[in-house]
Amino acid sequence: MTEHEKLLAGLHYNTRDPELLGMYHNARAVTKQLAQLDSHDFETKLTLLREMLGGFGDESWIELPLWCDYGKHVTIGRNCFINTNVVFLDCNTVTIGDNTLVGPNVQFYTPVHPLSAKERLTGDPDYPFLTSAKPIVVGSNVWIGGNVVILPGVTIADNTTIGAGSIVSKDIPAGVLAMGQPCKVVRELE
């Protein structure tokens, strides 16, 4: 398997792999171009986002700046609004459904490292840390408030609202209001 295939399979992979570094540098170049655009130049913005991301639905909008590790693993549905300073640590896939709102400073973290430094550190300068990654899935018609952190492997189901400042460490079911640190269901929504 290539390191990229290992990454997507949730296995330990070498973050210093040349293919992955190439994807990383491409994302840096595109985000730099995006940061320098005039806000009126929507067509160039759309072209660059579609070049960098794995999918970017019609009528969706991302406020700049944004950060991604690779970009290609992020898929955003149609009619979504992603507010400023979003962070996609997309070492595995981040999938966002249609009609979803993402507040400012929301962070999507897919990477996982062993908790023990003894296990995490390899001692190899060409492969210094054990890293794997788990996908994140956000359904359709979801609203994620500002400053939310979504941890590896989490699924947030359709029609759910996540309160601002939450840390989402476990799956959240459909049609609920959830919030807190850690994020928990508060009540059902109609």
Instruction: Kindly report the backbone phi and psi dihedral angles of residue 20, in degrees, each rounded to the nearest multiple of 5, phi listed first.
Output: -65, -40
CB of 164 closer than 8 Å to CB of 176? no
User: Which residues are CB-neighbours of 185 under 8 A, at least 6 positions away?
Assistant: 172, 173, 176, 177, 178
Position 139 scores a pLDDT of 98
Position 76 scores a pLDDT of 98
Position 126 scores a pLDDT of 87
User: Which residues are CB-neighbours of 161 under 8 A, at least 6 positions away?
Assistant: 142, 143, 144, 145, 176, 177, 178, 189
Cα atoms in the 13 Å half-sphere on the side-chain side of 46? 10
User: Which residues are CB-neighbours of 133 under 8 A, at least 6 positions away?
Assistant: 7, 10, 13, 91, 92, 110, 111, 112, 152
Position 148 scores a pLDDT of 98
Q: What is the pTM of this model?
A: 0.96
Q: Check 4, 25, 73, 113 and give the catalytic one.
A: 113
Q: How far apart are CA 23 and CA 66, in angstroms?
A: 16
Position 190 scores a pLDDT of 82
Low-confidence ranges of the chain (pLDDT < 50): none
How do residues 157-180 score in pLDDT, each as one tens digit? 999 999 999 999 999 999 999 999
Give the number of other CB atoms < 10 A from CB of residue 144.
26
Active site (annotated) includes residue 4: no
Residue that has been written with the tokens 């149609």 in this structure: 78
